[in-house]
Structure 1
Amino acid sequence: MSDLTIKDLGMPATSEPVRVAARRLRWFRAAFRAAVQRVSVETGLRFEVDDAKLASGFVHWLRVVERGHPHDRAARPAYFSHAAGMMLRLLLKEAPLTVVGGPPDVDPQRPEYFWPEGYCCTVFCLNVYALAVRQEFGRDAALGVDFDDLGIWWSFKENAHHNSAYAIAFFKLFAGVDPSWEFPDSFQWPKGALEGPIPVRPLG
């Protein structure tokens, strides 16, 4: 299992709760760059960050999150994973990361080398989510058992390419939360969407 998942990646210090700090572009940008740097150190991959695309993804995410925030406090834990999934969806959609270099001999069977940009964005969102959960609910987020499964990552990349909403469902899968494959971008409380198998879109 990767050493980069669901742990402190050296996110920038803040006097505010992470759930609040994450809504500040300055902190969001610094936290994203910190996560990218950590992934780069651990994997040998080199990334270029497009700040304009990162800011665009942040603004769109903030609008969606604030519009959909539930009034029922009992729904907050479930909404945190949904909001983090939406963060991943919009980061992948804006694509602020580009791989510009890396080690010569990498293992393409490892998720971080199979899809570096998607992996890096996912690790960032997982860690923001984990920090927020720890602060707000006093518990540690648990990484899903499928995180290191290359077949899951292949399905994630393929499905998110054709329908970005699936990024939310795959994020929840990686975060150890039951996803909705039928309506991945709809937050329902109490949960009402039917569960189903992971969708796989055939190549060609």
Structure 2
Amino acid sequence: MLTPLKTEVEKVGDLAHEARRFRTILWSFEKNIELLFKGTGLAAEVDHAALAEAFSRWRQAFDQSKHLADLDRKDFTIFAAGMMLKELLAARPITAIVPDELGLPALPATLDHRLKRWPEGYAYTSFCLSVAAAVLHEMGAAEPTESGVADDPRFWDSFRENVAENPANAIAFFDMVVGLPPNWQAPDVPWMRRTFLDSKRRLEAEPRKTIE
């Protein structure tokens, strides 16, 4: 399950705004790691400076594009989560500690293969999806859910390889996780998303009211 954090952050009042504060991000980020890694044999070290750097870059990008939220708040929330994923993957604030790499007992065979395959990427994705789902729940909108593609080990291998070349690809992969069509040409350009373009066309097609 990618979203163990969701029920925890749903308890935060006015999450849509609180998620723009670093203290909320820090608490929820570390809580997500605790929930994901509990009982797995995995552990993680969090670089707070790197996390703050990721948050700062995300907040700047968010503020520059938030005027587009009125076109489609649900899709913008998912896009904002994808932007956070991009910055986390670029800053790499997590260092996973894998027991069998330290000569300790191997990880349990029942461990989710996605988590074992790429603990850091899985944790970043889980965090972003959990917060997006909780924000949308607070808004009364339909929540994003995992698509079947996230169960395929090859998806995570491709995800890891592609974001190593270009962190912006994380936004397209996040769209795939929630079952949306990815924009591979310019994944970090919000106004090129299909949902925003469709919303803009609908608004432009609506007859304008005239004052008599």
TM-score (norm 1): 0.84
Report the secondary structure of 1:47's partner residue.
strand
Q: 1-side partners of 2:86 and 2:163: how far apart? A: 8
Task: Please give the root-mean-square deviation of Cα atoms over the aligned residues, in Å.
Answer: 2.2
Aligned 1:10-159 pairs, distance under 5 A = 10-11=8-9, 13-16=11-14, 18-71=15-68, 73-102=70-99, 104-106=106-108, 110-159=113-162
Range with bigger deviation, 7-16 or 93-102: 7-16
1:12 and 1:34 in contact (8 A); partners too = no
Task: Indicate the percent of aligned positions where both proteins have the same amino acid.
Answer: 32
Letter in 1 for 2:13: S
Gaps of 5+ in 2: 100-104, 200-212
Deviation at 1:94, TM superposition (A): 0.4
Report the secondary structure of 1:140's partner residue.
coil
Deviation at 1:10, TM superposition (A): 2.3
Gaps of 5+ in 1: 193-204
Return the structure number with greater helix share.
2
Q: 1-side partners of 2:98 and 2:42: how far apart? A: 6
User: Paired residue for 1:197?
Assistant: none
1:6 and 1:143 in contact (8 A); partners too = no
Q: Which runs of 4+ in 1 moved over 4 A?
A: 106-109
Q: 1-side partners of 2:82 and 2:6: how far apart? A: 19
Residue 190 of structure 1 is aligned with which of 181, 190, 197? 197
Q: 2-side partners of 1:20 and 1:122: how far apart? A: 20
Which entry has the higher C-alpha Rg, 1 or 2?
Answer: 2
Number of equivalenced pairs: 189
Letter in 1 for 2:81: A
Deviation at 1:71, TM superposition (A): 4.2
TM-score (norm 2): 0.81
Q: 2-side partners of 1:30 and 1:36: how far apart? A: 10
Deviation at 1:95, TM superposition (A): 0.4
Letter in 1 for 2:154: G
Higher relative contact order (CA 8 A, sep 6+): 2
